[in-house]
Structure 1
């Protein structure tokens, strides 16, 4: 170790050799590390041994500046300052420390101090004790902790019963109650003799509170039998004289120190199910051992109620899936809550011949228990009933039986539908109509809904078409949509390739075919209807053209609107594509527009009918209108009434400004006082005579305003009544806040600066208003200049009191005033006027770098009155938040 250390020191000295050589004098080689020396310490407890300067122990003439090495430590930790704390050495023995100088500095460059540390067994405590429930007691705890601790390299011996000693530890629990002696010995070192110390340990008995016999009950048990339960009977091996208590006094069953009886029935009645803990405490008769406690648990459980729970076994399959199917069952707890956790669930699987029972273990999570179902019992077509027969919460004591009710589900393994041997019937159909298909005969189709996939070929083609149909008593009916069979011919083939039971979802291939015929329809695309308007009591002639090659037809038609008949049939011969017939006047008794609708056209040669034609043609049946009934009219000038304001009105009425005029007046023609004439013209061109109507346009003079009547002083708080007092009106005067759709103002409404008011004369004789008198009010017509109060401060702190700086009423007396506020540095903080009279204590308008908030302090204002020759004033105010 010394060699390694010297190499280490040499390496570091060489790195700095230039620096050392610079400082060396011509006498450097006369320095050395001194001579070896030794020191024996037998009285290690002497405080002087905590600070031993090893340099002072060196012989010869040692030179300072070297390095001390503790030879008992590894190389990377052994360098220290040469001041030895001998009391810090935990063991007695021989220690050596080497003082080292670099070889280039001193010829005799190392010296060793040998230190012999004598034995020290410490000072024992006079009274050492422990309790017999302690399984390990360190004998070193028997020494006086206020004295220097004994060294650790001694040997303990038992003064009797040595088997209980393990190193420095004893087992009081194995020793039992009593007093035991042990000696600690450390061998001699150099001239220091061996030392020993004997300790005495007393073991005291801990009180025994016994072993508990917990009591577990179900709420359905006879709890009344335990209405006076002696808790002492739920303990074994306890010391007498203890006392019972309850944790947190949940039930208040323990009422005194001597009470040992509880009422289990009352606990359940008042507290419900749960775990109730009662503690038996036996106090210690000695100061060493602590009291002993044993807790007895009274557990009351309630049966879990699964009534109303549901079971869903996923999912129904078809017989082809039996080999690969897997099943998941989901049990949902409703509506009662249960704790999450682990449960054992027993269920049965039943079909028409067998019943098997299974138990699965899993967890209810948020009221849901999911488990996988063994497929071994689900290997054939049929209905399987799953029934829950028991549910046990594994975290419970299992003393209660769960309430289940009926919890079941049916899993169905369904057969494939089969129709290859069925009989198919399709009658010939006319073009544009769906084809009715009937399937019957040899099938296994049960009543229900099915879906087929089919193809059409031949005259009409379509692939992978699907449609749904219902089977009743072995017969299925469905239609092929007309849009899939637009082409006529005797060779359209229906091929059914697949069938699915929509109830079970089971699908099977099919090979079932049938050929059917599509007959042509009469061509009515070019048919045109023509009907002239008629007058009342005249017949109407219906003309049809564009009938093509048809020779004999039967029509079905209807009339609607003014005249109504339905499902009228007429057979007609067709010549060169044209035919006509007459609707008699006897069915056209009502004047007005009548609509003729051609519903169907039957080609009598092949029996096919073009249906839903909905070819319409309207015609009018008009009567000679009577002269209109007219009334005389009175309007107000401001109503701006027009021809549209007169009655009768409507598109059949025409108005003229004279009895002989041929110019019809438009609905927007503005009325004037005079006579107007009206007549009725119907859609057939029949006209009535003209009726004269008298029109009178009433006017009302507008009110007038006195000279300067719009000027007021705001200090007087003028109202609408004050404005009325300055107005001359010929009728009743009303004021509004807008020229159109305004609000009528009451006489006590305060006037507002710069607001325009609209005054109207109202004539009770004609119920007409005049044109508006517009008055824009000024409230600055104050002829007095009284002194007014200028505040000397404000507090903008948001408390709604004195939060702004404002000069009261100045806007009325000096409406053109300006106000400037400066801080003490002359920076403009605020500039106000009539539109901006209040300073809030911010400088947002004139930012001078203080973040918008004016600080507390004194500010200066300049007030310009701008009225007459009144001079501006200056002053100061105080802002205090």
Structure 2
């Protein structure tokens, strides 16, 4: 039987000879009708970054091109072609229906059928845009995930472009790499039906030269802090208490005698060099090499010049200090802290409270109360 499209009329003539040698013949005519097939039900996974395609091409079996389509949200076609655009179309069940094949008189010769394509639509993930960052070798370990574009989705893999396109983890120990430019590719596919999306990450690793810093000596009476330390060969510097600390010391931290301090150079981008050590020596109060800022006399004559016992910057350096002033008989006539007005020639202790003291030599003891620095003492002359 030849292939029939729609319907086809076949005519046959049968001829024979009679006993008397005459030709006898008969004609046979019949019409063969095609049985339209809709194909086989199909499950189809589609990603929104796939190209436009025809649903008819996705039907399994051997469907006839005589049907029409219906689908979600009023989807309908006038013939067998059904263009599907994943960026705008909906997922769901799409039905392909082929009609009955009927005679001109309306008699159904072959019944129609239908087949469905169930489309599951997946959203494609994004690798984000290409990005470039500067990082510091002193950052030690970075997470490449933190350097992805904000629109990137998680769940992808990183590829080392400079090292034979080998997959790597997201953690990168930059301290083990020399300064330079490194390229990584972020790849993410999501569902198997989606096309691979990629983005490049360019990482420039900067390394800062170590600073220079010598051992330094200060006077306890000056109450020097970390802010007084000096280093060279750097845009800026950070000072640390130990070689493994990661948080710099506050600049107001009081220096400690015999303590090792560690310094890094910091460049304009905030990158740090390796640490180097230096030692601080604090000369005690009264050392011959130190000049005290505390004057050896005050005059309370009302001219507003040198009329209080000025402690310089000691209250800021030692905020928990205590100051005791005694007369020549050893009697305490003044007790001071950071919240107490400076001594101006008047007693502030019970028994002599508010009394204007006489001229003469007075003795003081300054106790830093910081748990490290020893108290120091001296004397001054009070005049009127």
Task: Tell me, yes or no, whether TM beats 0.5.
Answer: no
Greater relative CO, 1 or 2 (CA 8 Å, sep 6+):
2
TM-score by length of 1: 0.22
TM-score by length of 2: 0.42
Structure ID, larger Rg: 1
